[in-house]
Structures are given as structure tokens and as C-alpha cells.
Amino acid sequence: MKESYQNEMFDYLDKMGIENFVGVPDSTLKKFIQQGINKKKIIIASREEEAIGIAAGMLLAKSPSLVFMQNAGFANSISTITSLIQLYKFPLIFLIGWRGYLKNDAPEHYKIGKIQPGLLKIINLDHKVIQNNNWKKICDWALEKTKKNKSCALVVPREFLD
């Protein structure tokens, strides 16, 4: 996802009422996160599960929230997602940077990256993959989900190597 779109996406979600952006940094999402840091709206947690817990607390205070993380951290968090977010029906948006999307990404991402779509499917977390030209439509889809008290995931593939 192009860097300029990431800035626009942050600003759009902010404008549409997401009040908290809590997570663990990921290079795929770095422009999105930087835009949030510039606007003083980001909380960096020590681990993804912690971020999910903080966001759940904010939702208990009726404050709309999003968590961001890399897909490796998402995999770490599956039990928390099923036994907290899904069990209690929290309307949380997950923004997930997807490593291992490219076949020649770093080796530690290969196996977990390959099963990322399958992991989302098997825990029944509704998701959509963001490409450059569809981010706004997909954000609107996610915002609609939260209004219906449902969680969902937005997945951003890493389409570059460094």
C-alpha cells in the first residue's frame, strides 16, 4: 500500500470517529502509524495481546478503537481474539500488515504468511485485503461492521522488500 494512501487512511478513520489506535509497530504499516504518532493518537503496546486488551477496555468506555499489528503478532493473539474479542462481541477493527505475502520475503515470514488468510477464516474473523485503490471502500465496510457490534480485520500485504 502506497505511503500517501496510508496517511489518507489514518486521517479518514480518525475523521470517521475511531478515537484510539493501539498496537505494535510493523514496517508494512509504518506511514499509517507515523501519521497517528504525529497526531498524538497512537498507543504502542509491548505485545499485540496487550494492545487488544487496552482497546477492549476503551471499547468498554464506549470509545471506538482499532488495533494494528503484523501478521506474526496476529498469530500470537488468536486465543485472545477468540476468548475476549469474539466471546464478548467487541466491535474492534484489526489492521494487520501481512508479511510473507511475497514469496521471496524474509524466511521467518514464509510459513505464517502463507496461512494468514486461513487463520482468519478458521477463527471466523471477517476480513478484506486492502490494495491501493480500495482502501476507502474497505474502511467504510469495517466502520459499518463496528456499528453492528462486530469485529473485523483489514489486511495490508507487504508488496516490497528492503
Partner 1 sequence: MIRKEAIEILMEKISMDPIVSANGFISRDLFNVHDKKTNFYMIGSMGLASSIGLGIAIKKPKKKVFVFDGDGNILMNLGSLTTIGKLQPKNFIHIVLDNSIHESTGGQPTASDTIKIEKIAKSCNYKQVLKVNNKKDILKKLKSIKNNMGPIMIIVKIKKGGSAGNRISTSPNKIKEQFINNL
Residues that bind partner 1 (CB under 8 A): 20, 22, 43-47, 49-63, 65, 79-80, 82-84, 87-90
In 24-142 the beta strands, taken as DSSP E runs, fall at 42-44, 65-70, 93-98, 127-129
Which is nearer to partner 1, 67 or 95 (by Cβ)?
A: 67
Report the nearest approach of partner 1 to the CB of residue 71 (Å): 20
The strand pairing partners of 128, in sequence order, are 154
Which is nearer to partner 1, 58 or 156 (by Cβ)?
A: 58
Q: How far is CA 142 from CA 40, 93, 102, in A?
A: 23, 7, 25
Report the nearest approach of partner 1 to the CB of residue 9 (Å): 23
Which is nearer to partner 1, 54 or 129 (by Cβ)?
A: 54
Q: What amino acid is encoded at 25 in this protein?
A: P
Q: What amino acid is encoded at 81 in this protein?
A: I
Which is nearer to partner 1, 52 or 156 (by Cβ)?
A: 52
Report the nearest approach of partner 1 to the CB of residue 16 (Å): 18
Report the nearest approach of partner 1 to the CB of residue 51 (Å): 8
